[in-house]
Amino acid sequence: MNIIYHHRTQGKGVEGVHIREIVRAWQKMGHKVEMVEPPAVSVWNESSGNKKAGFPAKVYKIISRYVPEIVFEIFEATYNFNAGGRLRKIFRKDKYSFLYERYALFNWSGAKEARRAGVPLVLEVNYTNHTPLYRRRSSIMRPFVNLAEKWIFKNADGFIVVSTYLKKHLIGLGVDKEKIIVLTNAADPEKFSPLTDGREIRSRYELDGRVVTGFVGGFYPWHGLDLLIDSFKSLAGDCADAVLLLVGDGPMKPSLEKKVLESGLQDRVYFPGTISHEDLPKYISAFDIAIMPDSNEYGSPMKIFEYMAMGKPVVAPKFGPLEDGITHGKEGFLFEPQNANDLVSCLRRLIDNADLRRELGKNGRTRIMDRHNWQNNAVSVLDLVDSSKGKGKEPVTAQRPVSAK
């Protein structure tokens, strides 16, 4: 089967991981995947869009950071001329089973060219013009983006969302519920394996004999690390062997380090800094408990699935997308969002009970193997294409190898 994957991201961070993993899963099934990406971006090179990306990416960086928002949005819209031309050329040279596109505001080129070619369009929707965005958008272009979004959604044959919240949101925007499937983020159970050796990390930070609660991710306000440190302070006295290992970096790191110092926890909280995604498994292996201190109603944090794949019990806030991946008391514990007392209670139960940690970790690994892995997600997309009711859309079931089922 020939598949086109189109995205308008910089191919870095969790976005890049998600794109690479779903593409790899299709390739392992024997399918050919043609990538259509922004100029100078390649998801296979984590430095793309950075120092090796060249002039186009530097221009994008300047426009993204320094020009008025309306100018940036016009720049986003002009991308359609570039992407549309490349998609049209690709459709002409070969026959493709479907176009998979990561939805982005103002990005109508995929829908237009898929419609022209008579090929099914599957949209992966992580947000819309109506969901909260970290980047503040201008009100001047909002009517235009609303029209573009409505037209794109009307011409899509299937929708992938990462949470039940987003599914309900799309239904509220008029999308047929039969066209939508919920696929949470996932993990590669071979890469994130309980057999990974974390002894070198535990030795480096002198963690042997201690109970490590670990976090991996960006140090941003929405990840709740200040709540975690405050909560940890309240139980540190009773749990003498408990420590925190906070892996990552971000704008909040200086204030978090200051909070740790003022709380007298400098010998109980460790900051290894930024690490590559390839090195994550050995750090997670050093955890006894894995935590996501805060999240939101519409996102599906990839890290919880990587934690579970490695057999770690997870503590996370009780939001819908997290409930899609964790059953309270089975693979981990879900606490009331922003409730420090509830968070402390969940942590204390796991810190004090090694057998419970092992049981929940084993259950989490099983859930990843059975459901939340990239291979399953890749097959589910093919099934969605099969169920497409669009005129002239050729079923793809016969083209999918038996080994992918």
Based on the fold, state whether residues 166 and 145 are members of the same structural domain.
yes
Based on the fold, state whether residues 48 and 172 are members of the same structural domain.
yes
The pTM of the full predicted model, rounded to 2 decimals, is 0.86
Long-range pairs of 255-258 with CB within 8 A, sequence gap ≥ 24:
255/226, 256/219, 256/225, 256/226, 256/229
Range of the structural domain that residue 95 is part of:
2-186+373-404
Q: Which residues lie below 8 Å from residue 272, measured CB to CB, with a gap of 6+?
A: 201, 205, 245, 246, 247, 283
Average pLDDT by consecutive 10-residue portion of the chain (405 residues)? 94 90 96 93 67 55 66 80 94 96 94 96 94 68 87 97 94 96 96 96 95 96 94 91 96 95 94 90 98 92 96 97 95 97 97 98 98 97 83 44 37
Based on the fold, state whether residues 87 and 164 are members of the same structural domain.
yes
The verdict on residue 191 lying in a domain is no
In our burial notation (b when 16+ CB lie closer than 10 A, e otherwise), range 22-51 reads bbbbbeebebebbbbbbebbbbeebebbee
| Tokens encoding 85 | 């031309």
Based on the fold, state whether residues 268 and 133 are members of the same structural domain.
no
Based on the fold, state whether residues 108 and 161 are members of the same structural domain.
yes
Contact 300, 324 (CB under 8 A): yes
Backbone angles phi, psi at 20, to 5 degrees: -60, -40
The verdict on residue 48 lying in a domain is yes
Q: What is the 3-state secondary structure (H, E, C) of 1-22?
A: CEEEEECCCCCCHHHHHHHHHH
Based on the fold, state whether residues 235 and 331 are members of the same structural domain.
yes
Based on the fold, state whether residues 362 and 377 are members of the same structural domain.
no
Based on the fold, state whether residues 392 and 274 are members of the same structural domain.
no
Based on the fold, state whether residues 341 and 398 are members of the same structural domain.
no
Based on the fold, state whether residues 17 and 123 are members of the same structural domain.
yes
For the chain, the domain total comes to 2
Based on the fold, state whether residues 309 and 355 are members of the same structural domain.
yes
The verdict on residue 179 lying in a domain is yes
Based on the fold, state whether residues 233 and 165 are members of the same structural domain.
no
Give the pLDDT confidence score for residue 137 in this predicted structure. Answer: 66
| Residue 381, domain CATH | 3.40.50.2000
